[in-house]
Amino acid sequence: MSQDKELEELRKRREAELQSQAGTQAQAQAQRAEIDAQKAVILRQILTPKARDRLANIKMARADFAEKLENQLIQLASSGNLRGQMTEEQLVEILRRLQSGKRESTIEFKRK
């Protein structure tokens, strides 16, 4: 009987741990959703519709790069370096500057 009680206690502890972890994960997910919503509002204010479309296309192809770009744009806007809404052409220019720093790699095929 004592083993049954110990087993039941272990089950209860494990269940409590799992519930705690689920609550923490749900809280983190809710916080992430709130941050994403705030970013969307800010980006809607600082980008023209065409620029937002381009950013959405980039996000589909390279989510990590788009995340960095979004953070950079929000930082520009919050520091006051951005006047008015950013057009698609301005966004493309920023993308060019970001890409120019990267080294292009080439693949050579040598045939015998």
Name all domains of the chain by residue range, CATH numbers in brackets: 2-78 (1.10.8)
CA distances from residue 90 to 47, 50, 68 in whole angstroms, order as listed: 10, 11, 17
Percent of the chain with pLDDT over 70: 95
Burial of 76 (0-12, 13-18, 19+ CB in 10 A): middle
Radius of gyration of the chain (CA): 24
pLDDT, one tens digit per residue, over 6-28 is 888 888 888 988 888 888 888 88
User: Look-up: residue for tokens 């919050």?
Assistant: 78
CA–CA gap between residue 61 and residue 95 (Å, rounded): 14
For the entire predicted model, the pTM comes to 0.65
96: nearest Cα among 58, 61, 50, 46:
58
